[in-house]
Amino acid sequence: MATIKEHATVPERFVGGHRLCAGCGASIVVRQVMLGAGKDVEVVAGCATGCLEVSTTIYPYSSWDVPFIHNAFENAAATISGVEAAYKGLRRAGKIDPDRRVKFVAFGGDGGTYDIGLQALSGAAERGHDLVYVCYDNGAYMNTGIQRSSATPHGAWATTSEVGSVQPGKPQRRKDLTSIMAAHHIPYVAQASVGYWQDLVRKAEKAFTAEGPAFLNVLAPCPRGWRHAGADTTTVGRLAVETGFWPLFEVENGVWRLTMPARARTLKPVEEFLKLQGRFRHLFKEGNEELLADIQREVDEYYAYVQGRCNCS
C-alpha cells in the first residue's frame, strides 16, 4: 500500500470550486477514493443523479478532472459497466494500447444505490465487470429534500419519517447493503467512513487493484440532513465507527476481516454518535427511552454479527 508521501504525489482528480455544502461528506469520499487509484492509472468516472452530481457539474463548469459521465438516478452501475465493456472490446480489437491502465468507477448516494439503483448494481456485480462502485451513504435522499431511504437509520427524523405523536422518526432499521454485496461473491467489498481516512484510502487501493467488481460503502455524514455542524463531519464519522453503528470491515475473496482500529475496539454507547445530530434530538426527550434502548440493542446485534462473520471477538 502507498505511503502518505506517495499519496501526496497523486494528481487531484476531483478539484475545488464545486457547490457542495461546507463539510459535505460526499466530497471527502471522492477525494480519498481517488487517492487510492494511484498516479499511474487513468480513471473514468460515472455518477448517478444526486447531490454529488448536481453540485459538481454546473454547466459550463466541472470539478472532475477525469472523463466523467452523468446518467440517470438509477443506472450508474449499468452505465459504467457498459463503458468498461466497450473499453475491453476496443482493446481486443487493437484500438487501445493493452498496456494502458484504465479503471472505471461509479459514485452514487444511498438513494441511487440502496434503493432505485440496486438492480443495476446487482447486475453489474453478477456479470463480473472490472469496475469499482462507491456508495457515499448519507442516509437519505438529500438532494431532493431529505426524504428517508432504506439507509436511513431507525429512529432518525427525515421529511418523510417525521417526528410526532404518530411516530418518533423512521420506524424501520436500515438495510445492510454491504452484506448484500458480499453475498454476490465478488472479489472485494468493504465498509468505510470519512472519519478514518487511511482505512478508506487503503480499501480504495484494494478496490482499484481487484480483478473484477469491487464495492465500497462509505459513511458520508451530511451536515444539512443530519443536522450537525459542518466542522463536525469527520468527528461524526469517527463516532459512527467507535460506537459500533458503522463497523469497519472488508470481504476480500470471500474472507471477512474486521478493520476497526485499536482505539475503536472498545465500543462507546451509541448515544455518543446520536447526540451530535439534530435528526436524533427527539430520542433524548422523556418518553423515548425505550426506543433509544432498542437502537442500542440493534447496534450491538449488528456489531456482533460482523464480528461473527470475521471470526473475531
Percent of the chain with pLDDT over 90: 91
Identify the band that residue 7 occupies on the pLDDT scale cut at 50, 70 and 90.
Answer: confident
Burial of 14 (0-12, 13-18, 19+ CB in 10 A): buried
Find where cell 481487484 sits. Answer: 210
Q: What is the pLDDT of residues 232-264, one digit of tens each?
A: 999 999 999 999 999 999 999 999 999 998 887
CA atoms within 13 A on the CB side of 274: 23
What DSSP string runs through 82-143? Answer: HHHHHHHHHHHTTSS-TT--EEEEEEEESIIIIITTHHHHHHHHHHT-S-EEEEEE-SSBGG
| Beta-bridge partner residues of 109 | 136
Percent of the chain with pLDDT over 70: 100
CA angle in degrees (0–180, nearest 5) for 64-99-104: 30
Question: Which cell numbers in the block locate residue 283?
Answer: 430520542
Sign of the CA dihedral running 209, 81, 150, 308? negative
Which pLDDT belongs to residue 313? Answer: 59
* More confident call, 311 vs 84: 84
Residue 2 has pLDDT above 90, yes or no: no
Which pLDDT belongs to residue 8? Answer: 82
CATH architecture of 4-309: 3-Layer(aba) Sandwich (3.40)
Cβ-Cβ contacts under 8 Å for 179 (sequence gap 6 or more): 309
Q: What is the pLDDT of residues 196-231, one digit of tens each?
A: 999 999 999 999 999 999 999 999 999 999 999 999
Q: What is the pLDDT of residues 55-107, one digit of tens each?
A: 999 999 999 999 999 999 999 999 999 999 999 999 999 999 988 999 999 99
